[in-house]
Amino acid sequence: MDQDELRKLEERCIQYQPPNCAAACPVHVDVRSMMAQAARGNFTEAAGVFRKTVPFPGIVSRVCDEPCRAVCKRGDVGEPLRVAAIEKACLDNASEVHAKIPLLPKRESRVAIVGGGLSGMSAAFELARKGYSTVVFEQEPRLGGSLWDYSEEKLPRDVIAEDLKVLSKVGVEVRLNAHVGRDQPFDVLCDEFGAVYVAAGPQAHDAFGLARDEDGRVTVDPATLAASREGVFAGGSMRRAEGQRSPIRSISDGRIAATSIDRYLQKVSLTASRAAEGSVESRLYTSTEGVEPLPATPIGDARQGYSSEEAVREASRCLQCQCLECVKVCEYLNSFRGYPKKYIRQIYNNLSIVMGHRHANKLINSCSLCGLCGEVCPEDLHMGLVCRKARETMVEQGRMPPSAHDFPLRDMQSSNSETCAFARHQPGTTSSRFLFFPGCQLVASSPKHVRNAYALLMRNLSEGVGFMSRCCGAPAQWSGRVELFEETREDFLASWRALGSPLVIAACSTCHDIFRTHLSEVPVVSLWETLDNLGLPEREEKRTREAVAVHDACTARHATALQASVRSILGRLGLEIEELPLSREKTECCGYGGLMFFANPELAKSAIRRRIEESPRDYLTYCAMCRDYLAFSGKRALHLLDLIFDTPWDEAALRKGPTYSQRRENRVRLKNGMLRELWGESTPQELRRETIRLRISDDVQQLMEDRLILIEDLQQVIDAAERSGYKLLDPVTGHFIAHDKPAGVTYWVEYSAFGNNDFLIHNAYSHRMEITEDLKP
Amino acid sequence: MTVPEKSTREGPMVCLKCNLPLQPGKVAISYLGSSFPVDLPKCPGCGQVYVEEALALGKMAEVEKLLEDK
């Protein structure tokens, strides 16, 4: 990921975008924060937020034309917030604060402001703060311009007087009764001052020789407010049509002009990065789904405005707009307490770091890569793609923590080893038009279903149905092992071509997805579409059981035909279907996807729990891993093949998935059994399990599952210890303790021996740190 | 999950290769290119060492994680 990619990705996460109100406000009052404070009754803090961006708060809270209200999301569910009325209540109820206005050191240049209305005063305030000697020329005997047109009731005179005090605080010089153009020639002003801001108000008859449009209004560059004469800027009501006067836009003009003048006098670009000034549109998306509509809070006393209680009530209607669409539906994104823009930055930093702690390793490796975020994101930002890319980079840099994916990668290696993997034409044939590819996890979880499904396909399809047991390479792809995935892919292709490049019938959604996205030369169809077309096994009567809730596999998210076939089969089986709130293209991962379970088991468990809680019904899955992970967490879950092959309902729903050791053993046994029974081949390999017998209690078995320790690991340690004699005795318990390091991991086993290769296991644990043990004979 | 009960160790482990009780000794342990000397129970005869469960799953796991994230 380079800086450019980083920025493009970050840009697509719109959570950081301002809410509509603050974007539409030309001076960008942080309305959302102000409302949050006001809703809690923190009026002083709320007023502080308001004052931060508005130099004349008393005036603005009474006369603001509120461009924020037109775009307020509350308007979709009720009425827009009464923002100005709340602002006024905040000021009324705030404790007295005398915040110091920070002033920059004095500068040489002087600036003239023509016109002492809101716009001119705002420019003067900003420029004086920046250290410029600023002089306001006002032709009337008082400042304020058209503010005096408001009634006393709407805008009390003492409020004006109070707000204007700020000008003297920042050292603005005011010359009243000073009519530029009459008392003082404009040219002289331009000579005397480094820059001039003309904000002479709506009735300005004199344009001081500046270029004007056909209606007589001064023409300016809308982004910088630069007028036709060098060093002269113009804004406020004098550039707006009659009836389009806007106090808040006048203030904004003053501020924009002040920025321009500052840049002009410092001789830097007037135009660079100014897109965010003034009223802008926000890309922030905020869902109002499920929000109760609420009308605006009435103002009890029109003269006084909102009371503090009323203001709290009204401010509480604020939706506190934010997007978080992905965070709302994803346990992973939620658990790291941020949102994609932050995560992308953390991932970028993690990948760029040379020395030091890589804080985001876990963040990168915990994502299930399922893509739900991309589905719900208004900008289609898919964090899974970001995380997978990041994993690839980490592997390339040699920075991938070995512990994160070691176990599933070894599992894959085992699936594709001589002991488990095999491919054959249909017994008695020499060519295959089809190839049944059950996938390593269905083989591991339900070898019986694999055999039944194969028999069914052979019965119903002509021209040969070959069989192949192996792993599609998903763990390599998920863990960022590009080269390993490529090797796995090549191995599959070689085996597939040797069978005559048949049409692959995939039982597993992940295999189906991997073939579709990474092996485009391989034609593939799901087992479910195939069975839906072929028909199901005969059965005596239709089931009349209650509905099942369909849990779609995340890797079948975009496989709409597959999803439809699953539902069609369920219908033919006589079952009612409940659609979960998040299903089909918006389905959730079971926790196995992206190897989440291995990199962050706690998170995976809470992701599964979240999924389980969506419906009390039995879940119907069509992925072996989904079924086993749901069942592992105590959910009644069935595999579609359980129903097709009529496994007794409760037995199927309650079945705990096999342990990791049993999964491996099932793969070996399936190969040996099928080769023997269907192809009449002898199988010389003997399971080590059959020569070294281990007695393992349920508790120890569970411990081994949690610690990812296999029976064959223990057999290896004990075998080595018993042969070499290198073992320890615990004199207190009489147990033996031995260790061995077959590959990256050192396994420790505490056991008792009964002779004849019969052992009782008391405990097992492992570590990855290597002990330098110089054994002497 | 229940952890099987652990013996409260009173005597030191005995190496069955040499029939000698283990004694504390210096052992180098390493991971991902970093190496540290530590004191572990070790057979004075053959050099066989013992890493108890609490150490493997506690301090060692912690250091492994630190080194993996370095």
Torsion of CA A576, A628, A367, A606, to 10 degrees: 80
Residues A396 and A410 grouped into a single domain = no
Please compute the mean of the pLDDT values over residues A438-459 and round it to a whole number: 97
Matching residue, tokens 């034309």: A65
Q: Please state the separation of Cα A170 from the chain's center in Å.
A: 45
Torsion of CA A91, A92, A97, A101, to 10 degrees: 30
Q: How far apart, in Å, do the first and last CA atoms of chain B sit?
A: 31
Residue B1 clears pLDDT 50, i.e. is over it: no
Provide the pLDDT confidence category of residue A686 given band limits of 50, 70 and 90: low
A771 vs B51, B53, B57: nearest CB: B51
B9 is a domain residue: no
Please compute the mean of the pLDDT values over residues A512-538 and round it to a whole number: 94
**Are A775 and B9 within 8 A, CB to CB?**
no
B34 is a domain residue: yes
pLDDT at A690: 65
| Count: domains in chain A | 6
Query: Which residue of B9, B30, B53, B55 to mutate against A (max A Cβ within 10 Å)?
Result: B53
Tell me how crowded residue A99 is: count the other CB atoms within 10 A of its CB: 8
**Are B30 and A402 within 8 A, CB to CB?**
no
Last residue of a domain, one of A362, A379, A400: A400
Last residue of a domain, one of A400, A435, A456: A400
Q: For all residues of chain B together, what is the average pLDDT?
A: 87
pLDDT at A688: 54
Residues A349 and A371 grouped into a single domain = yes
Report the SS3 class of residue A160: helix
pTM above 0.95, yes or no: no
**Are A732 and B11 within 8 A, CB to CB?**
yes
Residue A541 clears pLDDT 70, i.e. is over it: no
Residues A596 and A622 grouped into a single domain = yes
B2 is a domain residue: no
Residues A41 and A69 grouped into a single domain = yes
Query: Which of A176-185, A698-707, B2-11 shows the lowest per-residue confidence on average (mean pLDDT)?
Result: B2-11
| Residues A607 and A588: beta-carbon distance below 8 Å | yes
pLDDT at A441: 97
Residue B5 clears pLDDT 60, i.e. is over it: no
pLDDT at B37: 94
Structure token digits, residue A313? 């009530």
Residues A513 and A618 grouped into a single domain = no
| Residues A775 and A740: beta-carbon distance below 8 Å | no
Helices (H) and strands (E) in chain B, counts: 2, 4
Residue A48 clears pLDDT 70, i.e. is over it: yes
| CA-to-CA separations, A51 to A66, A276, A475, A647, A685, in angstroms, rounded | 16, 20, 55, 70, 80
Kind and range of the H or E element at A694?
strand A693-696
Chain B residues closer than 8 Å to A700 by CB: 4
| Residues A84 and A159: beta-carbon distance below 8 Å | no
pLDDT at A39: 98
- B26 interface with A at CB cutoff 8 Å: no
Residue A303 clears pLDDT 80, i.e. is over it: yes
B45 is a domain residue: yes
Residues A255 and A128 grouped into a single domain = yes
pLDDT at B2: 36
B32 is a domain residue: yes
pLDDT at A299: 95
Strand partners, A713: none
Alpha-carbon distance A73 to A19, whole Å?
9
Structure token digits, residue A81? 């917030």
Residues A390 and A413 grouped into a single domain = no
Residue A165 clears pLDDT 60, i.e. is over it: yes
| Residues A621 and A551: beta-carbon distance below 8 Å | yes
Please compute the mean of the pLDDT values over residues A617-623 and round it to a whole number: 97
What does DSSP assign to residue A604?
Answer: H
Report the SS3 class of residue A469: strand
Going by their DSSP bridges, the two strands A434-437 and A503-506 should be labelled as parallel
| Residues A740 and A720: beta-carbon distance below 8 Å | yes
Structure token digits, residue A624? 């072996």
| Residues A8 and A381: beta-carbon distance below 8 Å | no
Q: What is the pLDDT of residues A241-297, one digit of tens each?
A: 877 889 999 999 999 999 999 999 999 999 999 999 999 999 999 999 999 999 999
Q: What is the CA radius of gyration of chain A?
A: 37
pLDDT at B4: 39
**Are B9 and A768 within 8 A, CB to CB?**
no
Q: What is the DSSP annotation of A115-148?
A: --SHHHHHHHHHHHHTT-EEEEE-SSSSS-GGGG
Provide the pLDDT confidence category of residue A392 given band limits of 50, 70 and 90: very high
B50: closest chain A residue by CA: A728
pLDDT at A777: 78
Instruction: Specify the CATH number for the domain of residue A424.
Output: 3.40.50
Please compute the mean of the pLDDT values over residues A623-642 and round it to a whole number: 96
Instruction: Specify the CATH number for the domain of residue B25.
Output: 3.10.20
| Residues A639 and A622: beta-carbon distance below 8 Å | yes
Q: For all residues of chain A together, what is the average pLDDT?
A: 94
- B38 interface with A at CB cutoff 8 Å: no
A8 is a domain residue: no
pLDDT at A236: 94
Name residues whose C-beta falls within 8 Å of residue A114's C-beta, 6 or more positions apart in sequence. A120, A137, A180, A186, A189, A196, A197, A198, A199, A200, A208
B8 is a domain residue: no
Last residue of a domain, one of A601, A636, A657: A657
Structure token digits, residue A546? 């209650």
**Are A726 and B46 within 8 A, CB to CB?**
yes
Name residues whose C-beta falls within 8 Å of residue A546's C-beta, 6 or more positions apart in sequence. A576, A617
Please compute the mean of the pLDDT values over residues A13-19 and round it to a whole number: 96
| Residues A297 and A314: beta-carbon distance below 8 Å | yes
Output b/e per residue, A125-157; b: 16+ Cβ within 10 A. Answer: bbbbbbbbbbbbbbbbeebbbbbeebeeeebee
Residues A653 and A564 grouped into a single domain = yes
ipTM of the complex: 0.91
Residue A687 clears pLDDT 70, i.e. is over it: no
Return residues 41-60 of B near A (CB < 8 Å). Answer: 45-51, 53, 56-57, 60
Residues A119 and A198 grouped into a single domain = yes
Q: What is the pLDDT of residues A589-616, one digit of tens each?
A: 999 999 999 999 999 999 999 999 999 9
Alpha-carbon distance A582 to A329, whole Å?
9
CA distance B42 to chain A (A): 9
CA distance B23 to chain A (A): 13
Residue B8 clears pLDDT 70, i.e. is over it: no
| CA-to-CA separations, A432 to A466, A472, A511, B21, in angstroms, rounded | 5, 19, 19, 65
Alpha-carbon distance A258 to A251, whole Å?
11
Kindly tell me the sign of the dihedral angle through the C-alpha atoms of A618, A624, A625, A631.
positive
Please give the residue range of the domain that contains residue B57.
14-68
A699: closest chain B residue by CA: B2
| Count: domains in chain B | 1
Residues A170 and A149 grouped into a single domain = yes
Name residues whose C-beta falls within 8 Å of residue A124's C-beta, 6 or more positions apart in sequence. A113, A134, A136, A167, A172, A254
Note the maximum CA span of chain A: 117
Report the SS3 class of residue A553: coil
Please compute the mean of the pLDDT values over residues A712-718 and round it to a whole number: 94
Name residues whose C-beta falls within 8 Å of residue A619's C-beta, 6 or more positions apart in sequence. A548, A549, A550, A551, A612, A630, A635, A636, A637, A638
Residue A24 clears pLDDT 90, i.e. is over it: yes
Alpha-carbon distance A477 to A408, whole Å?
12
Instruction: Specify the CATH number for the domain of residue A58.
Output: 1.10.1060.10
Provide the pLDDT confidence category of residue A373 given band limits of 50, 70 and 90: very high
B51 is a domain residue: yes
Query: Which of A233-247, A486-500, A523-537 shows the lowest per-residue confidence on average (mean pLDDT)?
Result: A233-247
Alpha-carbon distance A625 to A631, whole Å?
10
The most confident of A269-278, A502-511, A740-749, by mean pLDDT: A502-511
| Residues A371 and A384: beta-carbon distance below 8 Å | yes
Alpha-carbon distance A280 to A275, whole Å?
8
Alpha-carbon distance A114 to A420, whole Å?
87
pLDDT at A214: 85
Q: What is the 3-state secondary structure (H, E, C) of A506-518?
A: ECCHHHHHHHHHH
Chain A residues closer than 8 Å to B33 by CB: none
**Are B27 and A772 within 8 A, CB to CB?**
yes
A678 is a domain residue: no
**Are A726 and B17 within 8 A, CB to CB?**
yes
Matching residue, tokens 């109100």: A21
Please give the residue range of the domain that contains residue A727.
691-767
pLDDT at A127: 98
Q: What is the pLDDT of residues A325-370, one digit of tens each?
A: 999 999 999 999 999 999 999 999 999 988 888 999 999 999 999 9
A728: closest chain B residue by CA: B15
Residues A146 and A83 grouped into a single domain = no
Residue A130 clears pLDDT 70, i.e. is over it: yes
Residues A586 and A484 grouped into a single domain = no
Tell me how crowded residue A297 is: count the other CB atoms within 10 A of its CB: 21
